[in-house]
């Protein structure tokens, strides 16, 4: 089968891929975007269902410092990319699409309407106006004789391009399209890829039957400490374990085995808490007495679940409440993780995010080996890497045109 020739090809229509296409089109080049799913940016839309956290209102160096993984530094240095296209630039880009933004009390930046769909609609309209062609239900299956092969509703299609940006996504939430099926073909082509692991994920907990009535209950006002990381964010007791922003903030340390403690009374010193616990209990049951002291049934339930046998001495009990061991059975899997760690390593990439094993092919987004907590870091970095890869692809096209002339 003869391959169709196009100037530029972007594979994957999530935020990184669409931003790459925008950068290529802005340089005056025709670009085709392919997407395996029936519609573009499904994970982006899912993330925006409860409020699209676009970025974070904080200095770019502080923001960039939250990225980790081999591609976050090293030769490609994603931290440097985010310092150059970070929170301020992403906010300006969204406003350029007609999206009004506001900053929440925690510094997170959201659209005023909270949803992702208006931004995506405006973005797709702008891309179409710049000549970007979108092909959905085109599933990439690999490379043959330099052409990219796709399974489509019309049968197999082959596309050859002078510049290609891969933006397949990582391995989390595979039902939304990020199934990492691209790993084997790229490894076969000589691209080094670190194994995927869940990131920003919940923890599995084998609860006792007594915890069933707390499934779905939020834990507020507690502090989590895992190694050097800590969090006071809210999290939720679920049937399978614990999930939510407070857990995700320290998820990497938890996943990597850091000893974890829960402070159920972070606003009280051990001495002040011991003084409260030393007061006569009277005829109150242990549970009701602890509820009077801690003021929250969910926190009492966690203390009884993870802290037994409870010390009788008030000072010892206060220390237990302030440093309760978090007992879990490991991280939830990639199918429930917000994002993934692992992917194409820094060693496999040039500073332009070009694959050393495949000249003319660039990569962006979550398929690179980096991770960051939730809170706008993930989306901003996907946009920044997509823009960088797209600009590099456009330069390559420009150089090819100059050579022809």
Are β-strands 108-111 and 101-103 bridged in parallel, bridged antiparallel, or unpaired? antiparallel
Is residue 333 assigned to a domain?
A: no
Instruction: Clarify whether residues 156 and 32 are in a common domain.
Output: yes
Instruction: Clarify whether residues 91 and 221 are in a common domain.
Output: no
Is residue 331 assigned to a domain?
A: no
Query: Domain range spanning residue 73?
Result: 4-198+341-404
Is residue 330 assigned to a domain?
A: no
The number of residues in the chain equals 405
Instruction: Clarify whether residues 257 and 358 are in a common domain.
Output: no
Is residue 336 assigned to a domain?
A: no
Among 303, 302, 320, 298, residue whose Cα is nearest residue 311: 320
pLDDT at 178: 86
Is residue 278 assigned to a domain?
A: yes
Instruction: Clarify whether residues 121 and 47 are in a common domain.
Output: yes
Instruction: Clarify whether residues 233 and 172 are in a common domain.
Output: no
Contacts of 76 (CB under 8 A, 6+ apart): 346, 349, 350, 351, 353, 368
From 261, 295, 325, give the residue that closes a domain.
Answer: 325
pLDDT at 401: 66
Identify the sign of the CA torsion 68, 71, 75, 77.
negative
Which 3-state string (H, E, C) describes the chain?
CCCEEEEEEEECCCHHHHHHHHHHHHCCCCEEEEECCCCCCHHHHHHCCCCCCCEECCCHHHHHCCCECHHHCCCCCHHHHHHHCCHHHHHHHHHHCCCCEEECCCCEEEECCCCCHHHHHHHHHHHHHCCCEEEECCEEEEEECCEEEEEECCEEEEEEEEEEEECCCCCCCHHHCCCCCCHHHHHHCCCCEEEEEEECCCEECCCCHHHHHHCCEEECCCEEEECCEEECCCEEECCCEEECHHHHCCHHHHHCCCCEEEECCCCCCHHHHHHHHCCCCCCCCHHHHHHHHHCCHHHHHHHHHHCCCCCCCHHHHHHHHHCEECCCCCECCHHHCCEEEEEECHHHECCCCEECCCCCEEECHHHECCECCCCCHHHHHHHHHHHHHHHHHHHHHHHHHHHHC
Per residue of the chain (405 residues), give pLDDT as tens: 677 888 999 999 999 999 999 999 999 999 999 999 999 999 899 876 778 999 999 999 999 999 988 888 767 889 999 999 999 999 999 999 999 999 998 899 999 999 999 999 999 999 999 999 999 999 999 999 889 999 999 999 999 999 999 999 999 988 888 899 999 999 999 999 999 999 999 999 999 999 999 999 999 989 999 988 889 989 999 999 999 989 998 988 988 888 899 999 999 999 999 999 998 878 888 888 888 888 889 999 999 999 999 999 999 999 999 999 999 999 999 988 889 999 999 999 999 999 999 999 999 999 999 999 888 999 999 999 999 999 999 999 988 666 655
Instruction: Clarify whether residues 38 and 132 are in a common domain.
Output: yes
Is residue 24 assigned to a domain?
A: yes
Instruction: Clarify whether residues 43 and 175 are in a common domain.
Output: yes
pTM, to two decimals? 0.91
From 325, 356, 380, give the residue that closes a domain.
Answer: 325
From 325, 355, 382, give the residue that closes a domain.
Answer: 325
Is residue 264 assigned to a domain?
A: yes
Residue 308 structure tokens: 């037994």
Is residue 332 assigned to a domain?
A: no
Contacts of 1 (CB under 8 A, 6+ apart): 156, 158
pLDDT at 24: 97
Instruction: Clarify whether residues 161 and 309 are in a common domain.
Output: no
pLDDT at 74: 67
Instruction: Clarify whether residues 153 and 31 are in a common domain.
Output: yes
pLDDT at 162: 93
Instruction: Clarify whether residues 171 and 23 are in a common domain.
Output: yes
pLDDT at 405: 52
Give the CATH number, domain containing residue 28: 3.50.50.60
The residue whose two tokens read 């502090």 is 223
pLDDT at 314: 92
Instruction: Clarify whether residues 238 and 386 are in a common domain.
Output: no
How many structural domains are present in the chain? 2
Instruction: Clarify whether residues 105 and 8 are in a common domain.
Output: yes
């Amino acid at each position: 089968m003869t391959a169709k020739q196009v100037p530029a090809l972007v594979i994957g229509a999530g935020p990184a891929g669409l931003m790459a296409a925008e950068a290529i089109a802005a340089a005056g080049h025709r670009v085709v975007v392919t997407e395996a799913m029936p519609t573009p940016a499904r994970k982006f839309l899912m993330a925006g269902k409860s409020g699209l956290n676009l970025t974070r209102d904080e200095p770019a160096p502080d923001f960039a410092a939250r990225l980790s993984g081999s591609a976050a530094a090293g030769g490609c240095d994603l931290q440097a990319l985010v310092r150059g296209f970070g929170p301020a630039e992403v906010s300006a880009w969204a406003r350029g699409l007609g999206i009004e933004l506001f900053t929440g009390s925690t510094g997170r930046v959201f659209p005023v309407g909270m949803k992702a769909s208006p931004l995506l609609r405006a973005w797709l309209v702008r891309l179409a106006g710049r000549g970007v062609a979108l092909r959905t239900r085109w599933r990439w299956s690999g490379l043959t004789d330099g052409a990219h092969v796709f399974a489509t509703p019309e049968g197999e299609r082959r596309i050859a391009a002078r510049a290609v940006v891969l933006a397949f996504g990582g391995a989390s939430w595979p039902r939304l399209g990020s199934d990492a099926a691209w790993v084997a073909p790229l490894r076969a082509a000589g691209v080094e890829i670190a194994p995927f692991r869940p990131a920003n994920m919940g923890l599995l907990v084998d609860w006792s039957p007594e915890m069933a009535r707390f499934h779905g209950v939020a834990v507020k006002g507690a502090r989590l400490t895992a190694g050097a990381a800590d969090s006071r964010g809210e999290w939720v007791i679920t049937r399978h374990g614990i999930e939510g922003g407070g857990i995700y903030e320290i998820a990497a340390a938890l996943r990597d085995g850091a000893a974890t403690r829960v402070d159920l009374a972070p606003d009280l010193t051990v001495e002040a808490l011991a003084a409260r616990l030393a007061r006569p209990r009277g005829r109150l049951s242990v549970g009701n007495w602890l509820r009077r002291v801690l003021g929250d049934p969910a926190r009492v339930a966690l203390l009884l679940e993870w802290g037994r046998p409870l010390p009788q001495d008030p000072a010892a009990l206060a220390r237990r409440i302030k440093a309760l061991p978090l007992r879990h059975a490991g991280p939830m899997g990639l199918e429930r993780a917000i994002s993934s760690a692992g992917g194409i390593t820094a060693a496999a990439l040039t500073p332009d995010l070009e694959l050393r094993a495949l000249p003319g092919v660039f990569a962006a987004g979550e398929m690179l080996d980096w991770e960051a907590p939730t809170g706008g870091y993930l989306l901003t970095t996907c946009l920044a890497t997509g823009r960088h890869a797209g600009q590099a692809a456009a330069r390559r096209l420009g150089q090819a045109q100059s050579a022809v002339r």
